[in-house]
Amino acid sequence: MMQRAFERAGQLDADRSVEFFFDFASPFSYLAACRLPGIAKKHDYNLIYRPIDVILAKKTAGNYGPSNREVPAKLTALKKDLERWANRIGVPLQFPPKYQCEVWNIGCLLARDRGKAVEYVHEAYLRIWGEGRDPTDTEQLSQVSQAMGWGENELGSFVKSPGAHERYQAEARKSFEKGVFGAPIVRIGSELWWGNDRLNFVEEWMSQH
């Protein structure tokens, strides 16, 4: 089911675009990413992936509260909620040992340039949140690079380059200027939805436009 959910959305009318703001460190972004490609394809929307740093997004918006991991009671409820969602949509879920995912966010820019964003996001999320692998393990980057049909070190070299890092930061600033304050966020024109649990509203909107 997970593989089907990550089907390539295809090249659609640029006027029918849906932006997906996400962070590979966000488990709820993972859940949203499992379903959004299928929803976009069903309603003939072009899915555009916009990787961001979710912590920086919150701070830029003025949200300086503690992270979920710093509130034990909230973290317990959050984990249970994630398990319920994963079971409902039929995808695997394993918490990774670390949450430093910036290089994976940057790597999405390369995949997007090459028309392989859907496949890349699928591979990365499957490893980080589906199988709970360490996102700081450079071997994972090498394996995904090869899975994309690139050279073994191509992805790793890209994410370490100053140009890629600067581009990632510039795109993130533009996202924050659009009102992006967290992840996952779905945006169509001036309409914005926050959270994996809002995808039903997204689909209802698409079906009416």
Report angle CA 97, 172, 135 to the nearest 5 degrees: 15
**Percent helix, strand and coil across the chain, each to the nearest 5:** 55, 10, 35
200: how many CB neighbours lie within 10 A of its CB? 11
CA distance readout (Å), 47 to 38, 44, 50, 78, 151: 10, 9, 10, 27, 26
| CA distance linking residue 95 with residue 112, whole number of Å | 26
Region class of 189: left (phi > 0), else alpha (psi between -120 and 50), else beta: left
| Strand 17-22 with 185-188, pairing | antiparallel
Is 161 an active-site residue? no
Given the residues 17, 26, 161, 190, the one annotated as active site: 26
| CA distance linking residue 63 with residue 124, whole number of Å | 28
Contacts of 21 (CB under 8 A, 6+ apart): 50, 51, 52, 57, 175, 180, 183, 184, 185, 186, 187
Please identify every residue annotated as catalytic: 26
